[in-house]
Amino acid sequence: MKYHYYPGCSLEGTAREYDLSTRAVMGSMGAQLMEIEDWSCCGASAAESTSYLLSLALPARNLAIAEKQGDVRDILVPCSACYLNLKKVEEKTRREPELFDNLNHILRDDQLQLNGRAHVRHLLDVMAKDLGADTIRRRVKKSFQNFRMAPYYGCQCLRPYAVFDDPEKPRSMEPLIEATGAQIQAWNLGGKCCGASHMNTDMDVSLELVTAILRGAKGADAIITVCPMCQMNLEAYQQKIIRRHNEDLRITVLYLPQLIGLALGLSEQDLGLELNLSVTKRFQEMLHIQKTVSK
Amino acid sequence: MDQLAAKEANNATLAPADVLAPIQEMVRACIQCGTCTASCPNEFAMDHTPRKLWRLVLMGLKDQIFQSKTFALCSNCYCCTLRCPRGLPLTEAMSALKQIAARQNLAKYRQSTLFYKNFLQSVRRHGRVNEMEFMAFYFAALRSVVIPLRFAPLGVTLMRKGKVSVAIPLNARRPLESIFRNVEALEDTI
């Protein structure tokens, strides 16, 4: 298993633990990640909101570098927003090949050329299909059997391109979570929007969405995410929401590879668990009395 | 009815119709079924529903569109795009409206436009966004005392965790400069 790896800007900063845990889990499962050399920002939601052409050109640069870097086609992307921006270039150039002319014209000064060979894949897709729940189950060292998890997919790994899951009723995370021994919280908010970058421009609107999601997750021991923006929105504003509604909505929020990594017996430090913003005391206590799986 | 006709006439003279033309093309086949409105997570905060916005677009009522917060409140969840029975690229149409608002620096959308532009300036300078630097420039551009305060506790937490750095990276190389320039040049010709 060999992949080009596109971490994206968040994974160097506010989502460092997503990068650490992705590398740790993929590495321990025998996958090789080759970081795209000198990768640059995908444009996030900012390029799309100001210039259509820029929103394609910024991800195109990264795809072109990956193509230049060798025969491997798959580009592994953990951030859902980066994933969609990169995927969009793959999908749009396939449907409208005339786009190649414009994009390659824009990239020419950097001696880069996009040929359409790159295949963009979300981390969840790779974990579900290439690693697989069965392989993970066989390697589990610490069982999460007393835990109940709420899988939260967010939007952009599911929509608009239905690549690896049902965009209306996503379930791809369930076998992976169950492989750790944990139960699944039954809810229908897994694919509901958290407000994304609106938290920075229309905070009150985003807080409404996040409140509904936190309420829906009540009863679960943790929410499991696959996107840095979802993670930040769900973990960082809990205090504000609790104060506003006078309702206990505290909950642990973990990245999927952090959960899988813990189950595989990787250390909390290797998975960056101390960097999360909302790991509750109760959750930490549960982690410490976890059972080791006897083989 | 007369009022509506007068408004339309007014619009026709005030607004260069071609600004909306590509977006009208995107939503031409809209049947006003309202699936977009029913699917939208942010509809509760919008003045016009998404369904109504598409009607305004098709009618070319530019003034009403650009006095509305509806498109600025689209959070790109793609639910409407996924569910539209006509298969219309509605999320892209929302983005196209945001692009007009940003290009024309319309005052109504100042906060989100400043957010996007400061983000991209940081990207243009360094190749990657520096979250701390970008938020600092964004807050400075807003010239508001209140808004940054809402983020202050989080900023402190993130700094304590070492997740954001106060040191501004020095990257004199500007690896994306030619891409930004070429995009601008190409856009001028379109």
Q: How confident is the model at residue B188 (pLDDT cuts 50, 70, 90)?
A: confident
Is the CB of A197 less than 8 angstroms away from the CB of B75? yes
Contact state of B123 with A58 under an 8 Å Cβ cutoff: yes
What does each C-alpha distance from A186 to A154, A189, A216, A266, B52 come to in angstroms? 16, 9, 9, 28, 35
Residues of B in contact with A168 (CB under 8 A): 82
Nearest chain B residue to A155 by CA: give it: B77
Which among A45, A192, A274 has the least Cβ separation from residue B76? A45
When pLDDT is cut at 50, 70 and 90, the band that residue B164 belongs to is: confident
Within A156-206, strands assigned E span: 183-184
Q: How far is CA A97 from CA A47, A191, B96, in A?
A: 21, 31, 21
A202 vs B contacts (CB less than 8 Å): 45, 72-73, 112
Identify whether residues A261 and A140 lie together within a single domain.
yes
Q: Rounded CA gap, B175 and A143, in Å?
A: 46
Answer yes or no: do A102 and A243 share one domain. Answer: no
Among candidates A48, A51, A203 on the partner chain, residue whose Cβ is nearest the Cβ of B150: A203
Decide: B102 and B113 in contact? Cβ < 8 Å.
Answer: yes
Just give the CATH number of B2-104: 1.10.1060
Could you give the C-alpha distances from A144 to A175, A196, B64, in angstroms and in order? 13, 30, 54
Q: Count the helix, strand and coil residues of chain A and give each as a percent rounded to the nearest 5.
A: 50, 10, 40
Which residue from B76, B120, B129 is facing A50, i.e. has the nearest CB?
B120
* Contact list, A65 vs chain B (CB under 8 Å): none
User: Once rounded to an integer, what is the mean pLDDT over residues A96-125?
Assistant: 97
Distance CA A160, CA B107 (A): 31
Confidence of residue B12 (pLDDT cuts 50, 70, 90): very low
Whether A119 and A234 share a structural domain: no
Q: Within a 10 A sphere around the Cβ of B149, how many other Cβ atoms?
A: 10
Per mean pLDDT, which range of A241-245, B21-25, B35-39, B131-135 is the poorest? B131-135
> Which ipTM score applies to this complex?
0.95
Domain limits for position A192: 133-292
Do A6 and A84 lie in a common domain? yes
- Which tokens in the block code for residue A58? 């910024």
Q: Which of residues 15-54 of A touch B (CB under 8 A)?
A: 16, 38-41, 43-54
How many structural domains is chain A composed of?
2
Q: Tell me the mean pLDDT in the region A71-92.
A: 97
User: Residue B131 — pLDDT band, cuts 50, 70, 90?
Assistant: confident
Helix (H, G, I), strand (E, B) or coil at B140: helix
- Same domain assignment for residues A41 and A17: yes
Residues of chain B with C-beta less than 8 angstroms from the C-beta of A12:
128
Separation in Å, CA of A63 to nearest CA in chain B: 14
Residue A128 falls inside a structural domain = no
Whether A215 is in a domain gets the answer yes
For residues A6 and A105, membership in a common domain is answered with yes
Tell whether A193 lies on the interface with B, counting CB pairs under 8 A.
yes
- By C-alpha distance, the chain B residue nearest A17 is B163
Which residue in this structure is represented by tokens 């500007």?
B174
Chain-chain contact of A49 with B186 (C-beta, under 8 angstroms): no
The pLDDT of residue A199 is 93
Rounded Cα–Cα distance for residues B75 and A154 (Å): 12
User: Nearest residue on chain A to B92, judged by CA atoms?
Assistant: A48
**Buried b / exposed e across A241-280, counting CB within 10 Å, b at 16+?**
beeeeeeebebbbbbbbbbbbbbbebeeebbbbebbbbbe
Question: Residue A177 contacts by C-beta under 8 Å, 6 or more apart in sequence?
Answer: A149, A151, A184, A224, A256, A259
**CATH number for the domain that contains residue A30:** 1.20.1050.140
pLDDT at B6 over 70: no
Q: Among all residues of chain A, which has the CA nearest to that of B90?
A: A160
Within this chain, do residues A165 and A287 fall inside the same structural domain, yes or no?
yes
**How far, in Å, are A52, A122, A191, A291 from residue A230 at the CA level?**
24, 15, 11, 30
Tell whether A244 and A210 lie within a shared domain. yes
What is the C-alpha separation between B84 and B167, in angstroms, rounded? 46
CA–CA gap between residue B100 and residue A99 (Å, rounded)? 22
Residue B145 has pLDDT above 50, yes or no: yes
- Chain A nearest C-alpha distance from B29 (Å): 19
Query: Residue A140: inside a domain, yes or no?
Result: yes
- pLDDT in the model for residue A70: 83
Domain membership of residue A51 (yes or no) is yes
Domain check: are A155 and A264 in the same one? yes
Range A210-222 average pLDDT:
98
* Between A31 and B12, the higher pLDDT residue: A31
Comparing CB atoms, the residue among B45, B163, B183 nearest residue A205 is B45
Question: Among partner residues A53, A55, A201, which is closest to B112 by beta-carbon distance?
Answer: A201
- The answer to pTM > 0.90 is yes
Inter-chain contact A201–B128, Cβ cutoff 8 Å?
Answer: no
Contact yes or no for B115 and A200 at CB 8 A: yes
Q: Tell me, what CATH number does A257's domain have?
A: 3.40.50.11810
- Quick check: B98 and A50 CB within 8 A? yes
Q: Are residues A250 and A185 in the same domain?
A: yes
Q: Where exactly are the structural domains of chain B? A: 2-104, 109-189
A179 and A51 assigned to the same domain: no
Same-domain status, A180 and A234: yes
Q: What residues are paired with B130 via a beta bridge?
A: none
Spell out which residues of chain B touch residue A167, defining contact as CB-CB under 8 Å.
82
